A and B are shown apart, each in its own frame.
Chain A
Amino acid sequence: MPDVVVIGAGMVGAACAYYAAREGLSVTVLDRASVAGGTTGSGEGNVLVSDKEPGPELDLAVLSCRLWAELAAEAGEPGGFEHEPKGGLVVAESDEVLRALTELAGRQEKSGVATRPVAADELARYEPHLAPGFAGGVFYPQDAQVQPMLAAARLLRRWPGVALRTGTEVTGLLMDRGRVTGVRTSAGDIPAGAVVNAAGVWGGEVAALAGVTLPIMPRRGFILVTEPLTARADGRPLVRHKVYTAAYVTNVASDSEGLETSAVVEATQAGTVLIGASRERVGFDRTVSLPVLARLARQAVGLFPALADVRAIRAYCGFRPYCPDHLPVIGADPRAPGLYHACGHEGAGIGLAPVTGLLVARHLTGAVPELDLAPFRPDRFAGAAA
Chain B
Amino acid sequence: MTGHDAAYDLAVVGAGPAGLAAAGVAARAGLRVALLDAGARVGGQYFRQPPDGFHASRPGALHHGYSRFVRLRDGLGDADVLLGHRVWAVEPAAGGGFAVHCLKGGRERATTVAATRLLVATGAHDRVLPFPGWDLPGVMTAGGAQALLKGNLVVAGRRVVVAGTGPFLLPVATSLAAAGARVVGVFEAGGRFALAPRALTRPGKAVEALGYGGRLARHRVPYKGGRAVVAAHGAGELTHVTVARVDAEWRPYRRGHETVRCDTLAIGYGFTPQLDLVAQLGCEIGADAAGGPAVRVDRHMRTSVPGVYAAGETTGVGGADLAELEGAIAGRAVVADARGVPAAGDPAAVRAEVRRRRLAAFADALLRAYPVRDGWTSWLRDDTPICRCEEVPYRRVREARDLGAADARSIKLLARPGMGWCQGRICGEAVARLAGEDPGPPRRPIAQPVRLGDLADMDERTSDDDA
Binding site for B on A (CB under 8 A): 9, 33-37, 41, 149-150, 153-154, 156-157, 164, 166-167, 224-228, 270, 275, 286-288, 290-291, 293-295, 297-298, 300-302, 307-316
Contact = CB atoms under 8 A, between A and B. Distances in A.
Contact of B452 (A9, A150, A297): A297
| B-side interface size class | 35 or more
A102 B120 CA distance: 53
B459 A34 contact: no
B414 A149 contact: yes
Nearest to A80: B403
A41 B421 CA distance: 20
Contacts of A41: 409-410, 413
Contacts of A313: 420-421, 423, 446, 449
A349 B47 CA distance: 52
The 6 residue pairs across chains A and B that have the minimum distance between CB atoms:
A308-B453, A297-B455, A35-B404, A294-B459, A34-B410, A298-B456
A238 B460 CA distance: 25
Nearest to A272: B419
Contacts of A153: 400, 403-405, 414
Contact of A297 (B101, B404, B456): B456
Interface string B223-241: 0000000000000000000
A288 B280 contact: yes
Contacts of A298: 455-456, 459-460
B407 interface: yes
Contacts of B451: 308-312
Given A36-B414, A312-B452, A313-B446, A167 B419 contact: no
**Residues of A contacting B: mostly:** mixed
Contacts of B416: 270
A369 B267 CA distance: 61
Interface centre among A224, A290, A293 (most CB of B within 10 A): A290
Interface centre among A33, A154, A275, A315 (most CB of B within 10 A): A315
Given A156-B404, A270-B390, A288-B91, A149 B413 contact: yes
A164 to B, nearest CB: 5
B218 interface: no
B399 to A, nearest CB: 10
Given A34-B410, A35-B410, A316-B443, A157 B455 contact: no
B410 A36 contact: yes
Nearest to A301: B456
Given A36-B413, A308-B451, A9 B404 contact: yes
Nearest to A148: B413
B444 interface: yes
Given A41-B410, A293-B445, 18 more contacts: A33-B406, A34-B406, A35-B406, A36-B413, A150-B403, A153-B404, A157-B403, A166-B404, A275-B452, A288-B91, A294-B458, A300-B456, A302-B456, A309-B453, A312-B446, A312-B450, A313-B446, A316-B443
